[in-house]
Structures are given as C-alpha cells and as structure tokens.
Amino acid sequence: METSIKTERQKRIRGVGYILAAAFFFALMNLFVRTAGDVPVFQKCFFRNLVAFFVALAVLIKSGDGFQIGEGNFKYLMYRSVGGLLGVFCNFYAIDHINISDASMLNKLSPFFAIILSTFILKERANRRQWAAVIIAFIGALFVVKPTFSMASLPAISGVLGGFGAGYAYTYVRKLGNRGEKGTRIVLFFSGFSCLATLPYLIFAYHPMEWWQLGSLLLAGCAAAGGQFSITAAYTNAPAKEISVYDYSQVIFAALLGVIFLGQWPDIYSVIGYVIIISVAVIKWRMDNKDEQKRFENEKGWPDEDITGDKRVRWSGNQ
C-alpha cells in the first residue's frame, strides 16, 4: 500500500512538472506565431505541426516502441486530433487579433472544459475543493484581460472555442493514456493528421513568406513540439482534475514574454489576476499534499515505533 501511494504521488508530481513545462512552451509558441506576422492561419497551423511531426517521428523510432496503435484506440486518436486541430485554429486566430496574454487566457479555459468533459467521458468526478480551485483560477484569468475582454468580438469567441477544443483534446489524451497508448504515438498521430488536414490549403492557396516569417513558424513548431510532448506526458501521468489548475501558468509566461519582446505591459487588473492564479495553485498544491499524507497515515495506522523499536519516519515530500 505504501509503495502504491508513493508511486501515485510521484506520478502527480511529474504531471505538474510536465504541465508547467507545457505552459511555457505554448506561451513561447504563441509569441513566435504572433511575430510571424501576416500569414494565413491554415499555413501557420501546417508549419506548427510539421516540425512536431518530425520530432515525434524521430523520438518514436529511437524509442523502438513501434507504430502499432493499441486495439480500439484509433477512434480516440481521431477524437483527440479533431479537437486539437480546432483548438489550434481558433487559438491562432485569436493570437493574430488580440495580444498574446489575452489569447493565452482564453485558451487556458481548456482545463475548465477538461474537468467538465472528464466527468462525462472519463467518469472522473472532481470534488468541491477542486472545482473551487479551478473556478477561482478562472476568475483570476478574467482579471488579466478585463480592460480589453469582449465576448461579443470574433477573436474572443474564437479564443473560447480554442479553449474548448484543447480541453476536449486533453480529455482524450488522458483516456488514451489510461488505455496504454504511448505519448509519442499520440503526438505523432495528431501532428500527421493536422498536416494532412491543412495540406490542401498550402497546395491551392499558398501565401509567400519572408525568411524571417518562415523562421518564426519553424520556431513555433519547435515550441509546439515541446508543448505537445509535455502536455501529453502530464495528462498520462495524472487526472485533469488534479493538475489542470497549473495550466493557467501559461498566462503568466505569456505576459512576461509579451513585456520582454512585444512591449505589452500588464495593467493593475492583470497583476491582480496573476496573484490570484499563483495563489490558488500554491494553496491547492499544499492542501493536496496534506490530504495525501493524512490518507496515508489513516491507511497505514502510523504506529509510533516499528517492530525493531526504531522511530517511524513520517512520509513527506522530501523523501
């Protein structure tokens, strides 16, 4: 029992680490997509996923895991890919028309959607505190874009749809992970699907690019590959209800990148949002750790001394 609980805790810690890495990579991707300038969204999507496809292909070949998809997983890979491509399309459209911190916030509605969808698709029900943590983080994210937020505008609506598409995709990433599908195959399938879906546009309506635009899109693809591998690893290690709140850190990363490279300074409302997001993430993390330690103590019984007479060392995050 002790080994099982420790293993689950380690998996959740890895999930949090991966999701923070994914948040940074996707914020970086948004920056490169924005700096690519006036390039059609379909074209941006193609190059974004082309790089990720070859990275995933190289990793899969090196790992020796093979290309064989698990029995019954093809349809779930399709669901994940359709939702993911919708999320990318809508997110890129929002990035092109509003600042990157606003676009990132709207896309970070995805954990909220993931928890809702996980209830129906995965039967993973969040408790009240987990719901409260996500809702409070969501409110904090709204503070970030309050001065310019308008759900009546097409870019904002596109951003919300992007968040839904991403949440839908991540829910099926979790399902595929539960069914034993390798994360590398999930990334490869999605990247290949996206390239094939956008290829006809490139063939019949290619928009000529400057060298720096191509470079920005290739860098966006590299960042996206890092993000895809990280987010896939995150949701295959832990349920959405346990780690999704940490995905809001992308708003923080995007705001910092916006200040440094685009001169987009956050106002007081954005700062309030950042504080709320960080605070709820830290509080949730601490409370989860305390609950897990109490659960371990209740199940183990925690005698003061073991049969050898040595003091029992309590389990903590430092062990």
pLDDT of 65 strictly over 70 = yes
- 219 vs 107, higher pLDDT: 219
- 228 vs 257, higher pLDDT: 257
Which of 167, 29, 197, 31 has its CA nearest to residue 87? 167
Mean pLDDT, residues 52-59 taken together:
89
pLDDT, residue 83, reads 93
pLDDT of 311 strictly over 50 = no
pLDDT of 216 strictly over 90 = yes
Mean pLDDT, residues 168-195 taken together:
89
Task: Give CA separation, 4 vs 10, 289, 299, 319, in Å.
Answer: 10, 16, 12, 15
pLDDT of 295 strictly over 90 = no
pLDDT of 92 strictly over 80 = yes
Mean pLDDT, residues 278-304 taken together:
68
pLDDT, residue 3, reads 61
Q: Is 4 exposed, middle or buried (0-12, 13-18, 19+ CB in 10 A)?
A: exposed
- 303 vs 64, higher pLDDT: 64
Per DSSP, the residues of 5-51 read HHHHHHHHHHHHHHHHHHHHHHHHHHHHHHHT-S--HHHHHHHHHHH
- 223 vs 282, higher pLDDT: 223
Indicate the average pLDDT of the chain: 80
Percentage of residues in the chain having pLDDT higher than 90: 27
305 by DSSP, 3-state: which?
Answer: strand
Q: For 235-263, what is each residue's pLDDT tens digit?
A: 778 876 677 778 778 888 988 998 899 88
pLDDT, residue 198, reads 93
- 263 vs 194, higher pLDDT: 194
Q: Kindly indicate the confidence band of residue 296, based on its pLDDT and cuts at 50, 70 and 90.
A: low
102 by DSSP, 3-state: which?
Answer: helix
d(CA 23, CA 35): 19
Mean pLDDT, residues 165-176 taken together:
89
Answer whether 159's CB lies under 8 Å from 30's CB: no
Q: For 20-48, what is each residue's pLDDT tens digit?
A: 999 899 899 999 999 998 899 999 999 98
d(CA 133, CA 277): 9
pLDDT of 194 strictly over 50 = yes
Task: Show the DSSP H helices in 153-182 as ranges.
Answer: 154-178
Q: Kindly indicate the confidence band of residue 12, based on its pLDDT and cuts at 50, 70 and 90.
A: confident
Mean pLDDT, residues 135-148 taken together:
70
pLDDT, residue 196, reads 95
